[in-house]
Structure 1
Amino acid sequence: MTDIKETDVLVAGAGPAGAIAARLLACHGRKVTLVDPGSCAIDRLEVLPPSGCLALQALDLFNILHDPQVARPCLGIRRRWGAMAPEFDDFLRRPGSAGYVVDRTRFDVRLRAAASEAGVRVMRGRVVAAQCEGERIQAAIRTCAGDVILAASVAVDATGRPAVLARHLGARRRVLERLVAVRGENSHANNADDAPTWLEVESLGANWFYRVAGPGGRLETWSIRRGEDRSRRSAGRSINASSVRLSPAAGVRWIAVGDAAMSFDPITSQGLVSAFTTALAAAGTVMSSRGLDAETAHVFSQSVTATAQNSERGRRDVYQALTVGQNGA
């Protein structure tokens, strides 16, 4: 007979969205179990714009960015379309006035540590099935010691793009545009200079290209192309960069956060901001007087849809400018 364990809140996935949602809920007295296989570190750099810094300040986690091994100051985004003069998106002009390039491996470790310090219980395992049983969500967790059933009043899906838990509960992923990101050969170049840097974006033939320097001078370059390219996935050079949203993004007793709720083209630099803001919104919904009922789930889902659609319009405008510049118009 499969062992059944009880918890107030099940959070599936220990990336930034999952770790932050789990920490918030634990700080407000909920018994939280964070389920994660613990074997999938994100080995890449990611830009955190000023809006994300403001969210970290609200979460009392901004001090993590003071560690030079975790984050490097970023001045903004420099774009060049073909032969046109560069355009600058200066972070000093935005609310918050500061941005960073984050080493995701080290950053995620610090966020998980903050969750543990708040009393979050970590279970090493993977969600393989889930269903709503009366007043509880029951999830089958595959661990190295065998399968466990975890029963919770609320489930938070933070499993990233696959949205594993939500899809078991009936949600569907809607792809807005299929994109693939391919890592350049010089992504681990060393440079001791840790002065503030820029995210550089430019055209590269029919594709888009971006380059950024992170903590310790680590340099990463990526090209973004339309369509799918599975040929290089095994070498770790190619990742799914498609624009995707979940429909719905929440239901009675469950809610999705971070990339599970909506995923972005990495050039938009919205991934971490989305992780923080959806985690905040989800925790607030769970702790509200109504909790996660049909109405509050619908409101959250509508917000996710509106955010994804707005982001997609902005991204298409930027890429249209790129194409015009490339053609010399």
Structure 2
Amino acid sequence: MLNTTIETEIVIIGAGIAGCIAAISLAQSHRVVLIDKLESPVDRIGECLAPAARRILKKLNLLEEFESSISINEWDHENGNLHIKNRGTQSYWGSSQVHIVDPLRNPDGFGWHLNRKAFEDFLRFSAAKRGVQCIWPAKLQESRFDDENWIIRTKKIDQNLQTESHTINAKFVIDASGRQSHFARTQGVVRNHFDKLIACWITMKNAELNSMSTISTSKLGWWYSAPLPNNKRIIAFQTDSDLIERATVKELDLFIESAKKNPEMERFLEKNTSEIQFHGTVAANSSKLNQVTGKQWVALGDAAVSFDPLSSQGMFNAMANAMQLTELLLALNLVKEPTESKNRVFYEIYSQQINQVWEHYMKHKNIFYNQEKRFKDEAFWSRRHVDEFNKNT
């Protein structure tokens, strides 16, 4: 077994959106190692990137390349187009009458519907191009703090079943491993879950001319559909894991049958049911670590707090959180001078920043769910009305 030792300043665990943005922004001033357990990104349900992300991409000198997708042949030849314009949302929420929300008055302009897998590939490629040392697939095996350094051990097995391990000595660790928060859990940190929301989803060929997203409620939860790049469409159902028969979120025919009971989803499905890919179920609940930073480590993005997809802020929050973290680390020069006093200041400021984001999110989540009164006596909705909100906060 080959074992490689790497000396660096920052190791980032997780090469998703948060991890890559942090790596790209920190690479200008620090030696950064970025690791991920997956050799390449996989399909994910999140695909709506808010217009405000344009500012972050521009600051990192990624916007022109992202918008033109001119590099797509260089870094990817299978995923196809990177994005299409998000022209707004038609919402059947709180009423059977459609409510249109469009970005025409947004100072940042239009957002995007992403080919999420291609976007993450784009960010990985950009990180490597900026000098970040990228290691994948590499599974976290051990982490310990010794002599003012973190020692991170990883293992990977290649296609020929050859085992390779890395021992990474770093001053600072960023946990960007998503909802699993792998590193934080090794430090004994507990993750608090505030609901049981799951999302079950399919993608299929798009036969709809309307390029807006669609949100529609039902007794058991809410449906979502949107066009995607490469003439595809997503249909997803959000409900609580204990409120639905398991077969419905595990078998395509039952999922389609359930979707057709919703008038808006039925319209998409009656025009075309070809080339359907069933992606199954993923966690979509609101959750938060009870400690988001510690001795020369920090949790970032979904690893720190995860949002209900209704907010459409998961990807933007990951990017904004990464930029905010970079600014704080640079202002304190914490990585190069990790003194006790600086660690205390960082702990207080970063924890406060995450708490403010969380409180803002929970407030608006409560407001939006309370706008749907038609099913207020149903379990899914009664759990999300004012009493549940007050209990959770």
How far apart are the structure 2 equivalents of 1:299 and 1:178? 30
How far apart are the structure 1 equivalents of 2:206 and 2:324? 38
Of 78, 87, 95, the residue aligned with 2:90 is 78
**Structure with a larger share of its residues in strand:** 1
Of 309, 319, 323, the residue aligned with 2:359 is 309
1:128 paired with 2:141, answer yes
How far apart are the structure 2 equivalents of 1:250 and 1:65? 34
**Alignment-derived partner of residue 167 in structure 2:** 149
Q: Secondary structure of the residue that 1:69 maps to in structure 2?
A: coil
Deviations 1:165-215 (A, max 9, x none): 12212322121222000114xx2224496x8x3221111232111110011
Of 182, 188, 199, the residue aligned with 1:170 is 188
Taking a change above 3 Å as real, the CA distance of residues 16 and 150 of structure 1, as seen in their structure-2 partners, is same
Q: 1:76: how far off?
A: 2.1
**Alignment-derived partner of residue 34 in structure 2:** 34
CA contact (8 A) 1:245 1:263 kept: yes
Of 65, 68, 75, the residue aligned with 1:66 is 68
Counterpart residue identity of residue 79, structure 1: S
**Alignment-derived partner of residue 89 in structure 1:** 101
How far apart are the structure 2 equivalents of 1:110 and 1:47? 16
Provide structure 2 residue ranges, at least 5 long, that are not aligned to the other structure. Answer: 70-79, 158-162, 252-277, 336-342, 378-393
Alignment map for 1:277-296 (pairs within 5 Å): 277-291=320-334, 293-296=343-346
Q: 1:320: how far off?
A: 1.7
Query: Which contiguous aligned blocks of 4+ residues in structure 1 show a shift greater than 6 angstroms?
Result: none
How far apart are the structure 1 equivalents of 2:376 and 2:146? 57
Q: 1:3: how far off?
A: 5.6
Alignment map for 1:175-194 (pairs within 5 Å): 175-184=193-202, 187-191=203-207
Alignment map for 1:3-18 (pairs within 5 Å): 4-18=5-19
Alignment map for 1:267-286 (pairs within 5 Å): 267-286=310-329
Counterpart residue identity of residue 224, structure 1: Q
Q: Secondary structure of the residue that 1:19 maps to in structure 2?
A: helix
Q: 1:325: how far off?
A: 4.1
**Alignment-derived partner of residue 24 in structure 1:** 25
Taking a change above 3 Å as real, the CA distance of residues 174 and 41 of structure 1, as seen in their structure-2 partners, is same
Deviations 1:57-115 (A, max 9, x none): 22222231333811110122221126432223222223312111011111011111110
1:297 paired with 2:299, answer no
Q: Which structure has the larger Rg over C-alpha atoms? A: 2
CA contact (8 A) 1:180 1:238 kept: yes
Taking a change above 3 Å as real, the CA distance of residues 266 and 217 of structure 1, as seen in their structure-2 partners, is same
Using the TM superposition, name which of 256-265 and 99-108 deviates more: 256-265
Alignment map for 1:92-241 (pairs within 5 Å): 92-124=104-136, 125-144=138-157, 145-184=163-202, 187-191=203-207, 197-227=211-241, 232=249, 236-241=279-284
CA RMSD of aligned residues (A): 2.5
CA contact (8 A) 2:22 2:322 kept: yes
How far apart are the structure 1 equivalents of 2:61 and 2:43? 25
Taking a change above 3 Å as real, the CA distance of residues 276 and 168 of structure 1, as seen in their structure-2 partners, is same
Equivalent residue pairs, number: 322
Deviations 1:137-171 (A, max 9, x none): 12221222244321100111111110101221232
Of 291, 299, 315, the residue aligned with 1:248 is 291
Counterpart residue identity of residue 312, structure 1: M
Taking a change above 3 Å as real, the CA distance of residues 247 and 59 of structure 1, as seen in their structure-2 partners, is farther
CA contact (8 A) 1:129 1:165 kept: no
Q: 1:327: how far off?
A: 6.5
How far apart are the structure 2 equivalents of 1:72 and 1:11? 30
Taking a change above 3 Å as real, the CA distance of residues 176 and 327 of structure 1, as seen in their structure-2 partners, is closer
TM-score by length of 1: 0.89
Provide structure 1 residue ranges, at least 5 long, that are not aligned to the other structure. Answer: none
Q: 1:4: how far off?
A: 4.0
Q: 1:285: how far off?
A: 2.3
